[in-house]
Each structure stands twice: as structure tokens, then as C-alpha cells.
Amino acid sequence: MNCIIVDDETAARAIVNQLCSKTEDLNVVDEFDNAIDAIKFLNQQDVDVIFLDIHMPGFSGVDFVQTLKNSPKIVLTTSDTKFAIEAYEYESIVDYLVKPIKMERFEKSILKVKNALAKKDVEEKFNDSGADLEEDLYINIDRRLIKLKFKEILCIEAKGDYIDIITEGKKYHVHTTLKKIKEKLPEKIFLQIHRSHIINFTKIIDIEDNSVLIEKNVIPISRSSRPELMRRLNLLK
């Protein structure tokens, strides 16, 4: 992944640069002490991620984010924690690092960036191939057929003779098996990561230890399923 660093403090840029140098597959192509020069650079060259300070004289990091069109993914780097909640209102911002930045926290941030880029790549590949992300699935609830769009399904959990299908804002309790519904799901975006769980891996927010986070759902990853999950994410770099 190619990245740039935008921060008015020389020492802060050096620290982020050092963290990047210790991270595999992360290449710093340039760094800037002001947002204007960074914008000029981005008008000529694409990058995957921007490490951006919020408080800079003249043209702040917030101004910078609002100016960009088709923005790369952005990781904010700042000593100001007050902006954290507001930051996530911007789709391009994937994480918020508070200075001083520790390597362990930086690595988690890079994983979030990779997941966000993976999701973007999946959507682009579907569009390029003519595949339809609007495809749907019908489920039987109390003798009613309810249509669910694949892209709205977050995860599915086995519950005995039933499964819970969790979507964006609703849960459906369906009398069927995980094996049967798995046969109906497109493999390009769904993956069974545990004997009781199937996920839409384009919806992953974070992966930590032996679980993934999808919206507010913490879902376990079995030891045998983890390599396949990571392989798919790696293929989508």
C-alpha cells in the first residue's frame, strides 16, 4: 500500500514514517507539512492511505478531508481526542490514532485500512464483472416470504434447528440449517468462519485475536477458518 504523511510537525512526521517502515506492504511515497501541497500531490498521483494530522495552521485536517473527492482511506494522527466521534462521520476516515502512537496500535490501524480497501475491491470487482450486488434471498417467516438483499446481510448464526440472519437493523429467526443457507450465498462475499457462524466479510470493521467485529457483533473465528479468512483479505490488497 502506498501512503503519504501530512503533518506540520517534523518530529511527528518522522515518527509515523518510522512506524510505516516497520510495517510490511506499506510504502511512504511522500510527506508534507501542509494540506495544500498534499492536495496538489493527490491531484497528480493516487495513494491508498493518508496519515493526517487534524490541527495544522491555515488549512486544517478537517478542511483537507472535506476538500478531497474520491478520497483515499485516511488515518487521523493527533493529540486531540475531542474530534474522535465526529471523525467517523466521514466515510474516508477509517481510524483515529492519538499521539504518541504505539506500534501495537498502529498495526491494528493498518489492519482496518486493509479491511476497508478489501471491501472497496470486492465492490469494484462485482461491478467490473457485471455481477449484481443487489441479488437477493427469500426467507420464510410465519408463512410469509421476505426478500433480503445479500449486501444487507451482516452475519448468520446457527441456533439449533434455526438460524439467526442479522441484517443492517434487523434479525430474522429462520427454521433451516446453516448448511442449507450457505449453499444459497455467493462465495465472493460470504465465508463460514466458525461451525456456527457465516459472515459477509465485506462488512468486517476489525479483526482482533480470534474474533471479527461486524457492526456491534463480535463473531468468533475458529482456528481452522482463520487462514482462509486472511487469505481472502490478502488476495484483495
Residue 122 confidence (pLDDT): 62
Residue 131 confidence (pLDDT): 46
- Give the confidence band of 5 by pLDDT, cuts at 50, 70, 90: very high
pLDDT over 60 (residue 27): yes
Here the cell at position 193 is: 468462519
Averaged pLDDT, 53-76: 85
38: left (phi over 0), alpha (psi -120 to 50) or beta: alpha
- Give the confidence band of 235 by pLDDT, cuts at 50, 70, 90: very low
Averaged pLDDT, 192-199: 95
pLDDT over 50 (residue 227): yes
Strands (E), the chain: 2-6, 27-32, 49-53, 73-78, 93-98, 136-141, 144-149, 153-159, 162-167, 171-174, 190-194, 197-200, 204-208, 211-214, 217-220
Tell me the per-residue pLDDT of 152-174, one tens digit each, with 9 for 90 and over: 999 999 998 899 999 988 999 99
Tell me the per-residue pLDDT of 28-45, one tens digit each, with 9 for 90 and over: 999 999 999 999 999 899
Here the cell at position 26 is: 506499506
The identity of residue 79, as a single letter, is S
CB atoms within 10 A of CB 231: 10
Tell me the per-residue pLDDT of 98-132, one tens digit each, with 9 for 90 and over: 989 999 999 999 998 988 887 766 665 555 544 44
Least reliable range by pLDDT among 69-73, 109-113, 218-222, 230-234: 230-234
The CA distance from 49 to 116, in Å, is 10
Share of the chain above pLDDT 90, in %: 44
The domains of the chain, with CATH numbers, are 2-128 (3.40.50.2300), 136-235 (2.40.50.1020)
Tell me the per-residue pLDDT of 80-103, one tens digit each, with 9 for 90 and over: 777 666 666 777 888 889 989 999
Residue 24 confidence (pLDDT): 87
Tell me the per-residue pLDDT of 170-188, one tens digit each, with 9 for 90 and over: 999 999 999 999 988 988 8
Averaged pLDDT, 45-54: 92
Prior bond of 100 cis (ω within 30°): yes
Here the cell at position 185 is: 450465498
184 to each of 73, 135, 181, 196, how far by Cα in Å?
A: 33, 11, 5, 16
DSSP reduced 3-state for 196? coil
DSSP reduced 3-state for 73? strand
Cβ density class 208-219: b for 16+ within 10 Å, e for less? eeeebbbeebeb
